[in-house]
Amino acid sequence: MSFFEWDNRFNIGVYEIDNQHKNLAYLVNTFFESIRKNNNIEEIKLIVNELSEYIWVHFQTEENLMRDIDYQEYATHQCEHKRFAKYIENTQEKIIKGNVPDLIELENFMRDLLVNHVLTFDQHYGLVLKEKNVRLVKTRPQLPKI
Ligand SMILES: [Fe+2]
């Protein structure tokens, strides 16, 4: 079983953000699988690099969105992002030096990011978006009818 299983509670109702969260969950699961199964430091390095890059892109997307709507809780939310980014940066540095990180500590961190943060902080700005009636939900591209 994967470390993180997606369910609908995690949807915040913004198509792009929900997709990014799903991609993030996939990367985190791949990361843990790699640590558990083969513990190959070169492979772990590649995944942590991808993960840290993706987290950066994701936080930027959210922060841009929050700035666009003059979100009142922006500073607090950004502070949380900085805390996560710093932790990932430190983990990445350790891995680059060849140290496999402590799995329990990492799992607690990822749970905090993927569960607690999404269910509280991200859900909150999702609600504000809905209240402001900001329509950012993109529709899936439709295949042309034959
Ligand atoms: Fe966030």
Q: What tens digit of pLDDT does each residue of 12-29 get?
A: 988 889 999 999 999 999
Three-state SS string over the chain comes to CCCCCCCHHHCCCCHHHHHHHHHHHHHHHHHHHHHHHCCCHHHHHHHHHHHHHHHHHHHHHHHHHHHHCCCCCHHHHHHHHHHHHHHHHHHHHHHHCCCCCCHHHHHHHHHHHHHHHHHHHHHHHHHHHHHCCCCCCCCCCCCCCC
Quick check: is 98 in a domain? Answer: yes
Whether pLDDT at 141 is above 50: no
17 is a domain residue: yes
CATH of the domain at 31: 1.20.120.50
In a domain, 145, yes or no: no
**Residue 113 belongs to a domain:** yes
105: in domain? yes
Give the whole-number percent of the chain exceeding pLDDT 90.
64
Ligand 1 centroid to residue 74 C-alpha, Å: 10
CA 40–ligand 1 middle distance (angstroms): 30
Whether residue 70 lies inside any domain: the answer is yes
* Stretch among 5-19, 108-122, 126-140 having the lowest mean pLDDT: 126-140
In this prediction the pTM is 0.86
pLDDT value of position 143:
55
Domains held by the chain: number: 1
List the domain range (segments joined by +) for residue 125. Answer: 13-131
Give the Cα separation of 95 and 137 in Å (integer).
37
* Spacing, Cα 146 to ligand 1 middle (Å): 41
- In angstroms, how far is the first alpha carbon of the chain from the final one? 40
Q: Is the pLDDT reported for residue 74 higher than 90?
A: yes
